[in-house]
């Protein structure tokens, strides 16, 4: 009998059980996309935590165990051990720390031969010593950890940002959508980089979708709306029926421009929210915010962590959050990391698109190697927003890439993927230098994720394939 079996016998009916790796195929094919992402995250970060509508995640757990514990040929390569935190804590009583140490120690001695499935994971968050044990295990163990929690449980885990920041959360699809969602949605700022990605996704998911823009509105077929004008906002909402959901993505997103044009930045990022509240009644209001509300010195940051922006752009986004939460009873604020993607050749230039353009030049590339970004693909950020609305979430949530990369590291990864996808090799040096701008930039704004996007290299591969097909 193995040591892991001894542990099983000792804690039988006390929150621990062996999970069968079934030969009967996958049980819940609806969860396919979530399972594939979880496997990718388990392979890269050695952990993944599902956020589901309730703790009854048997379908998704069974599918994960069946798929992750087998190799490409279908042979079983790992066992799976389930630890129900709630039952385990209750059964262990005042010996819980010793009991958890024993279980984790045995798993570590197995050297990655088992997948640990921890359900009701948030129960451990109530005990600081247990959190430290788990945090050390997740960071240093060879045993992959699959967790399960709810939206409420995520909020409990997020109270310890250091622990939650090393977990790869996956916000699961709430329910199968056979037909389009029967709600009317307005995207204010649908011509922006992120606004266009949200509009494209929501057009496929909702029956009634409208969008506004400003300088490019007529060209792209949207209603023109100057959100700095109360008269225009008043007229727009008097001419249109009430919307169920209003997503505010308009505003100034360039920190250096905001620093130089402060009145304009405040009008777009703050004042417009309060004006909209006067005329858009009874809607679900969504405000898109930024990682720049943090100073970048003490991450990872939970949604409740103290916001201390170091530039004017960050201050306006923080004040915009406050205005949204004050003026709308169930407002949703979504803070995003550095966005990248491909919405067509006319897109606003991001750090990633500028790097890609520079790789076409026959010269060495100099990029910043100081500021650490956590990039997130447009499509992943838009999908997270859709799921949060489905969950009827309110308050502040965050999503950004799990990998902290400076621009030099981003450029090196982009060059590798570019060569693999297009065959074009960048043969010049990629050199790191310190780059500065008008606005101060936070060093590292790593935020606790409610929904971990795909890894950067996978996202860049998607960008090159999209660009090649257009």
CATH number of the domain enclosing 284? 3.40.50.720
Q: Name which of 310, 283, 313, 278 is nearest 296 in CA terms.
A: 310
Kindly report whether the peptide bond that precedes residue 300 is cis, defined as omega within 30 degrees of 0: yes
Q: Name which of 173, 48, 68 is nearest 121 in CA terms.
A: 48
Same domain flag for 154 and 268: no
Same domain flag for 351 and 456: yes
Q: What is d(CA 392, CA 11) in angstroms, rounded to the nearest whole number?
A: 38
Q: What is d(CA 434, CA 97) in angstroms, rounded to the nearest whole number?
A: 46
pLDDT band of 27, cuts 50, 70, 90: very low
Same domain flag for 201 and 259: yes
Q: What is d(CA 407, CA 394) in angstroms, rounded to the nearest whole number?
A: 33
433 within a domain of the structure (yes/no): no
Same domain flag for 185 and 263: yes
Same domain flag for 241 and 163: no
Same domain flag for 214 and 97: no
Structural domain boundaries, residue 33: 3-171
Same domain flag for 212 and 245: yes
Which of 113, 140, 171 is the last residue before a domain boundary? 171
Do strands 16-19 and 79-84 pair parallel, antiparallel, or not at all (unpaired)? antiparallel
Q: Which tokens in the block code for residue 449?
A: 């994720």
What pTM was computed for the model?
A: 0.94
Whichever domain contains 36, its CATH number is 3.40.50.300
Which of 171, 193, 218 is the last residue before a domain boundary? 171
426 within a domain of the structure (yes/no): no
Same domain flag for 377 and 357: yes
Same domain flag for 329 and 462: yes
The tally of domains found in the chain comes to: 2
- Distance, first Cα to last Cα, the chain: 59
Q: Give residues with Cβ within 8 angstroms of 277, minimum separation 6.
A: 285, 323, 327, 328
The model's pLDDT over 385-436, given as tens digits with 9 standing for 90+, comes to: 999 999 999 999 999 999 999 999 999 999 999 999 999 999 999 999 998 8
The model's pLDDT over 321-339, given as tens digits with 9 standing for 90+, comes to: 999 999 999 999 999 999 9
Same domain flag for 132 and 217: no
The model's pLDDT over 241-299, given as tens digits with 9 standing for 90+, comes to: 789 999 999 999 999 999 999 999 999 999 999 999 999 988 999 999 999 999 999 99
């Amino acid at each position: 009998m193995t040591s892991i079996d001894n542990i099983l016998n000792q804690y039988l009916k006390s929150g621990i059980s062996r999970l069968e790796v079934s030969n009967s195929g996958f049980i819940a094919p609806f969860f396919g996309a979530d399972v594939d992402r979880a496997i990718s995250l388990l392979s890269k970060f050695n952990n993944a935590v599902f956020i589901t509508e309730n703790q009854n995640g048997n379908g998704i757990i069974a599918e994960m165990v069946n798929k992750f514990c087998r190799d490409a040929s279908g042979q079983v390569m790992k066992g799976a051990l389930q630890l129900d935190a709630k039952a385990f804590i209750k059964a262990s009583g005042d010996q819980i720390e010793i009991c958890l140490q024993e279980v984790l120690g045995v798993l570590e001695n197995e050297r990655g031969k088992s997948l640990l499935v921890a359900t009701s994971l948030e129960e451990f968050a109530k005990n600081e010593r247990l959190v430290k044990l788990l945090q050390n295990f997740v960071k240093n163990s060879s045993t992959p950890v699959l967790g399960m929690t709810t939206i409420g449980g995520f909020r409990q885990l997020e109270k310890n940002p250091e622990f939650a920041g090393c977990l790869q959360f996956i916000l699961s699809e709430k329910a199968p959508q056979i037909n389009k969602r029967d709600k009317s949605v307005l995207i204010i700022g649908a011509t922006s980089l992120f606004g266009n990605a949200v509009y494209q996704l929501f057009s496929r998911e909702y029956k009634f979708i409208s969008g506004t823009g400003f300088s490019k509105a007529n060209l792209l077929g949207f209603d023109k709306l100057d959100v700095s004008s109360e008269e225009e906002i008043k007229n727009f909402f008097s001419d249109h029926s009430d919307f169920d959901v209003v997503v505010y993505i308009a505003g100034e997103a360039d920190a250096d421009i905001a620093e130089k044009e402060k009145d304009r930045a405040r009008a777009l990022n703050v004042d417009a929210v309060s004006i909209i509240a006067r005329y858009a009644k009874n809607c679900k209001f969504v405000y898109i915010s930024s990682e720049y509300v943090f100073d970048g010195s003490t991450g990872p940051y939970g949604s409740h962590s103290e916001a201390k922006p170091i530039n004017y752009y960050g201050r306006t986004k923080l004040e915009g959050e406050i205005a949204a939460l004050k003026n709308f009873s169930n407002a949703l604020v979504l803070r995003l990391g550095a966005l990248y993607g491909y919405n067509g050749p006319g897109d606003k230039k991001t750090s990633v698109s500028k790097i890609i353009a520079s790789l076409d030049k026959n010269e060495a590339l100099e990029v910043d190697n100081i500021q650490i970004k956590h990039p997130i693909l447009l499509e992943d950020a838009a999908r997270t927003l859709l799921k949060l609305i489905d969950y009827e979430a309110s308050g502040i949530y965050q999503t950004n890439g799990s990998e902290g990369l400076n621009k030099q590291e981003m450029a090196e990864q982009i060059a590798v993927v570019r060569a693999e996808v297009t065959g074009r090799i960048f043969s010049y040096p990629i050199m790191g230098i310190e780059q500065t701008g008008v606005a101060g930039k936070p060093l590292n704004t790593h935020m606790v994720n409610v929904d971990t996007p795909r890894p950067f290299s996978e996202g860049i591969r998607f960008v090159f394939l999209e660009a090649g097909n257009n």
